[in-house]
Structure 1
Amino acid sequence: MTVTYVIDGAEVTDLQRFWQAIGAAVNGPGGYFGSNLDAFADCLSGGYGTPDDGDFVIEWRRHDLSRVALGHQETAVALQRRLANAHPANRAAIEGELAEAKAGRGPTVFDWLVQIIEEKAPGTLRLL
């Protein structure tokens, strides 16, 4: 039997709220299902609340609202945080991504999340 996890896009006003929304959808109020992109990818690989057989769907309702909230402005915020902790060898690349985000170009946080879901749990995402 397929388990459906529902995210309401109206509740996803920034990346922190996405972590809260996905955690609650999968593991109940206050639940955890990642708090950064790497942890989220790990959670999607299994063992953090999803069925062992991988038979689940993430239904992202009103995703268009999340797409706006997790757009270039939020991407710049996330990249600025990443830059603050970056290894010196990675700083130039992150600075380039940050400049693109500030100019309203390039992939967004929303795009990153969708890509991770599609890579780690293919066929489970339903954007409604």
Structure 2
Amino acid sequence: MLNSDQNKKIIIDGSRFSDLAGFYDEASLVFMKETDWKVGTLDGFDDILYGGFGVFENKDQVEVTWKDSQKSKEDLGLEATRHFYENKIRQGKPFNIELIQQKLDELLSGNGQTLFQILIEIIESHKNITLILD
């Protein structure tokens, strides 16, 4: 086990974005320095967290601090998530419209996840990453 001095430290700065596209830009900047690949989807964000082609390797212990996380929680909250799902429904194929409508219905009934919660869940699913909300 690496001690904390050997952990890779990455900062997501919530003051630098106010929507999902801005989050993807920030994630590309901090996780994919000096590469041509850019984050553009939730799946793509999950993919870069496996490591190996950005700023850390697959087995590295990584500490991610999300500064201004309360701002991001609001920016990527109910309204942003509603728009996210509505846009996918409007686009239709290749998206699974029934599943997206179900997720939208859950969100509007108070049982669904916001984009912020989805991003947190994605980060926390990677056992080598420690998330600190600041």
TM-score of the superposed pair, with normalisation by structure 1: 0.83
* CA distances 1:28-72 after superposition (whole Å, capped 9, x unpaired): 489645210111111111123132232221110110000000001
> Structure 1, unaligned stretches of length 5 or more?
none
Q: How large is the RMSD of aligned CA atoms in angstroms?
A: 2.4
Q: 2:9 maps to what in 1?
A: 4
> Equivalents in 2 of 1:42, 1:85: separation in Å?
24
Contact 2:124 2:130 in 1 (8 A): yes
Q: Tell me whether 43-52 or 20-29 shows the greater mean CA deviation.
A: 20-29
Q: 1:56 maps to what in 2?
A: 62
- Counterpart amino acid of 2:88? R
> Structure 2, unaligned stretches of length 5 or more?
1-5
> Equivalents in 1 of 2:127, 2:36: separation in Å?
19
Q: How does 1:1-128 map to 2 (within 5 A)?
A: 1-28=6-33, 32=37, 34-52=39-57, 53-83=59-89, 84-86=91-93, 90-102=96-108, 106-128=112-134
Identity of counterpart residues, as a percentage? 27
How many residues are treated as equivalent by the alignment? 127
TM-score of the superposed pair, with normalisation by structure 2: 0.79
> Equivalents in 1 of 2:122, 2:101: separation in Å?
22
Instruction: Please identify the structure whose Cα radius of gyration is greater.
Output: 2
> Equivalents in 2 of 1:2, 1:127: separation in Å?
17
Q: Which has the higher helix share?
A: 1
